[in-house]
């Protein structure tokens, strides 16, 4: 079998890896490459945010506690812990573009698992599908984020990554509306004293609602596989200059010595955890009688405002980061997010609703800014560093689970102290990141 690295040690382009001998002179421009990569940010944002609607839906279908329902996010984001570092190593051999194709194929397979899961009506099979789907998205993240950074100057990297992440937020904003229309188009009810057969029929009808959206997502992902297999993107370096395997393996451990990267990984962990935890419990939070008493259908539409704020903030942030130091902006956004979460915990009615929704605006620049700050100065170890940062996205599995435990113990409103602590750390990292250095 043909090795996926050339004799010189450089990663092969997609066409070389597939044995394509057509004219390979027509390489896409960096601007066009950035444009097509933006479509990936949109689609994985859409899929990730759809979990915010899937969680309360499955909670209702399977009559789960908050802790049990939080396994939706835990299964999804656990893939980042397990897959990220192997994906970073894999990309050093096959290159970014083939990594994008592989990630899309695996994500497509994960979507298709939802069909037997819905027909079997087994919660654990849904969780398996989420893990496979997230494994594909993890490979996409490990490929696309450093690729965007590589398609231009290091000085404009935070701004450029914020711009692509803005389209990620567009996907996260639209998904709750779409999911609410599909999964909560009618208010599901079952009689208190219904027979076992009636309960099974209810679960079957509700579980079946999941089939169609994930089937069509699989179709879209397959079309994207075809496109990224055809287009020829510029080759960005993914290997260190040394070609020995021992040198690469040593680099895996060496990257943990870089303080800005290490503390940035913690920042990614708590940021993703806080953002996902808030999004996961918004429907239930808005449904609380002491907050707004909304129906699930109405609450799902409000979730879009949370993700829409992140989209608007990223467009604004992409502009402001050309003039404002990234660490300072990160600290300021973390501070305001902390204040808003505290207001949501201590108030009622629509004051609590709009306070927690406004957190999305300040979430906006956090992920791309932490990501670019943490990778600064890594040089030849950038792809491995990206793997470590994507591994830290497992915070989306851990923090919602922890909040779910406290929601069962203290109530959903008071459980928001968990993301509040996360934002306090982000203030610290933003304020002190200029004092940290990544030196290779």
pLDDT in tens, 252-284: 455 567 788 888 899 999 999 999 899 889 988
Q: What is the CA radius of gyration of the chain?
A: 22
HSE, side-chain direction, 13 A CA sphere, residue 374: 32
3 state SS of 385: helix
Q: Please tell me what DSSP assigns to residue 4.
A: S
- DSSP codes, 110-156: HHHHHHHHHHHT-HHHHHHHHHHHHHHHHHHHHHHHHHHHHSS-STT
**The Cα angle at residue 303 between residues 328 and 210, in degrees rounded to 5:** 130
| Predicted pLDDT of residue 174 | 82
CA distances from 266 to 49, 147, 425 (A): 22, 22, 9
CA distances from 342 to 310, 332, 358, 411 (A): 19, 16, 12, 15
| Predicted pLDDT of residue 273 | 93
Point out the residues of the chain with pLDDT beneath 70: 1-28, 30, 152-159, 162, 182-196, 198-199, 202-203, 234-256, 378-381, 383, 434-440
| Predicted pLDDT of residue 335 | 96
In angstroms, the CA 335 to CA 427 distance is: 6
For the chain, the straight-line distance linking the first and the last C-alpha, in angstroms and rounded, comes to 35
Question: Taking the C-alpha atoms of 231, 148, 36 and 366 in order, what is their torsion angle to the nearest 10 degrees?
Answer: 160
CA distances from 250 to 7, 25, 44, 246 (A): 21, 36, 32, 6
| Predicted pLDDT of residue 248 | 39
Q: Does the global pTM surpass 0.85?
A: no
Q: Whats the size of the chain, residue-wise? A: 440
């Amino acid at each position: 079998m043909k090795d996926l690295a050339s004799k010189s040690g450089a990663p092969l382009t997609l066409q070389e890896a597939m044995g394509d001998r057509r004219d390979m002179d027509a390489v896409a421009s960096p601007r066009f490459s950035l444009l097509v990569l933006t479509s990936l940010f949109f689609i994985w944002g859409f899929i990730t945010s759809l979990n915010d609607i899937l969680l309360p839906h499955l909670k209702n279908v399977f009559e789960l506690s908050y802790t049990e329902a939080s396994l939706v996010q835990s299964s999804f984001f656990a893939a980042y812990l397990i897959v990220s570092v192997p994906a970073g190593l894999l990309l050093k051999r096959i290159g970014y573009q083939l990594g994008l194709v592989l990630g899309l194929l695996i994500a497509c397979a994960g979507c298709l698992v939802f069909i037997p899961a819905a027909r079997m009506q087994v919660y654990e099979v849904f969780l398996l599908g989420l893990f496979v789907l997230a494994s594909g998205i993890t490979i996409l993240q490990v490929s696309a984020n450093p690729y965007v950074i590589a398609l231009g100057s290091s000085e404009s990297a935070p701004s450029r990554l914020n711009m692509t992440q803005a389209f990620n937020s567009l996907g996260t904003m639209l998904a709750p509306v779409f999911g609410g229309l599909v999964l909560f188009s009618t208010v599901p009810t079952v009689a208190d004293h219904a027979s076992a057969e009636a309960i099974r029929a209810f679960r079957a009808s509700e579980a079946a609602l999941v089939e169609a959206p994930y089937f069509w997502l699989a179709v879209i992902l397959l079309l994207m596989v075809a496109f990224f297999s055809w287009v020829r993107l510029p080759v960005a370096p993914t290997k260190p200059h040394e070609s020995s395997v021992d040198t690469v393996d040593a680099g895996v451990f060496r990257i943990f010595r870089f303080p800005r990267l290490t503390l940035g990984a913690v920042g990614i962990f708590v940021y993703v955890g806080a953002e996902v935890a808030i999004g996961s419990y918004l429907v239930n939070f808005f449904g609380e009688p002491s907050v707004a008493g909304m129906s699930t259908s109405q609450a799902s539409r409000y979730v879009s405002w949370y993700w829409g704020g992140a989209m608007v903030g990223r467009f604004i942030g992409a502009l402001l980061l050309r003039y404002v130091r990234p660490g300072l902006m990160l600290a300021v956004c973390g501070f305001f997010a902390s204040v808003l979460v505290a207001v949501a915990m201590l108030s009622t009615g629509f004051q609590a609703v709009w306070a927690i929704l406004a957190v999305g605006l300040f979430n906006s620049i956090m992920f791309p800014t932490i990501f670019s700050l943490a990778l600064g100065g890594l040089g030849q170890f950038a792809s491995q560093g990206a793997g470590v940062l994507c591994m830290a996205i497992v915070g989306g599995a851990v923090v919602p689970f922890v909040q779910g435990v406290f929601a069962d113990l203290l109530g959903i409103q008071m459980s928001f102290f968990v993301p509040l602590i996360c934002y306090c750390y982000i203030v610290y990292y933003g304020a002190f990141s200029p004092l940290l250095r990544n030196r290779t």
